[in-house]
C-alpha cells in the first residue's frame, strides 16, 4: 500500500464519518426546533379578546359570604341575561327570554381588572355608564362584582357568566354562537351551557 492510497482511504473515511455525524445531528436539531416554533406561534389573548371570544350567559350569583343568590332576586336580577361583546367595542345584551335589554360600547382594562360599559339608546345617546371589577375572566367564565351601595364595599354580589353557544337574538343564526361549539362543547371540567336548548 502506497502513501497516496492510504491518504485517499483516510480522507474517505473522515468524510464519511462527518457526513454520518451531520445526518444524525440535523434531524434531531430540526425535530427539537419544531415544537419551539409551534409554541412561539401561539399568541396570548388579551382580556378584551377573551371577553369578545364567546357569547355569555348569566348562570349564577353569589353574595360576599359565598352564598348562592337566586337570579330572580331583586339585588341581582337586573344583571341577568345573554351578553355579546363584539371585538369592535360594542355590545348587546338580552334578557333570558331573548327580549332586548341594552346595547352600547364596552372596554376592559388592559390588565383585565375591570369592565366599562356605556349603555345607549337607539339614537346613540348614553343612558348610563358602569365600571365593574372583574373577579374572573377566562375562556369559560366571566365574573364581575357589583356593589348595591358604592360607599359600602363590604356588601357585594358576584355575577357569574359562563360561555354559551346561544345565538344572538335577531341575527338570523349569524354571529356569535351560530356554529354552536366555540371550541370544546364543554369538554374541559367547566359548566358549558347549551343556550339554545332550554
Query: What average pLDDT is seen over the chain?
Result: 80
- CA–CA–CA angle 61, 62, 63 (5° rounding): 130
The 10s digit of each residue's pLDDT in 139-152 is 999 999 999 999 99
For 182, other C-beta atoms within 10 Å of its C-beta total 18
The 10s digit of each residue's pLDDT in 156-173 is 999 999 999 999 998 877
Domain boundaries, the chain: 1-42, 47-163
- pLDDT > 80? residue 12: no
DSSP run (H or E) holding 8: helix 3-40
Q: Return the higher-pLDDT residue of 175 and 18.
A: 175
The 10s digit of each residue's pLDDT in 79-107 is 999 999 999 999 999 999 999 999 999 99
Q: Give phi and psi for 132, each to the nearest 5.
A: -125, 140
Superfamily covering domain 47-163:
Domain of unknown function DUF4822 (2.40.128.540)
Amino acid at each position: 500500500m502506497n502513501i497516496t492510497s492510504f491518504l485517499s482511504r483516510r480522507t474517505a473515511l473522515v468524510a464519511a464519518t462527518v457526513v454520518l455525524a451531520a445526518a444524525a445531528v440535523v434531524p434531531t436539531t430540526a425535530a427539537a426546533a419544531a415544537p419551539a416554533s409551534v409554541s412561539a406561534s401561539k399568541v396570548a389573548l388579551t382580556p378584551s379578546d377573551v371577553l369578545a371570544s364567546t357569547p355569555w350567559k348569566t348562570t349564577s350569583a353569589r353574595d360576599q359570604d359565598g352564598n348562592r343568590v337566586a337570579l330572580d332576586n331583586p339585588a341581582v336580577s337586573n344583571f341577568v341575561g345573554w351578553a355579546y361583546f363584539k371585538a369592535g367595542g360594542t355590545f348587546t345584551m338580552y334578557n333570558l327570554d331573548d327580549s332586548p335589554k341594552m346595547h352600547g360600547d364596552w372596554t376592559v382594562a388592559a390588565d383585565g381588572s375591570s369592565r366599562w360599559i356605556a349603555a345607549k339608546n337607539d339614537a346613540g345617546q348614553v343612558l348610563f355608564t358602569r365600571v365593574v371589577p372583574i373577579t374572573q375572566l377566562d375562556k369559560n367564565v366571566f365574573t364581575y362584582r357589583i356593589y348595591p351601595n358604592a360607599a359600602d364595599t363590604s356588601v357585594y354580589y358576584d355575577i357569574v357568566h359562563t360561555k354559551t353557544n346561544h345565538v344572538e337574538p335577531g341575527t338570523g343564526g349569524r354571529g356569535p354562537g351560530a356554529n354552536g361549539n366555540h371550541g370544546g362543547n364543554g369538554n374541559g371540567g367547566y359548566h358549558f351551557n347549551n343556550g339554545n336548548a332550554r
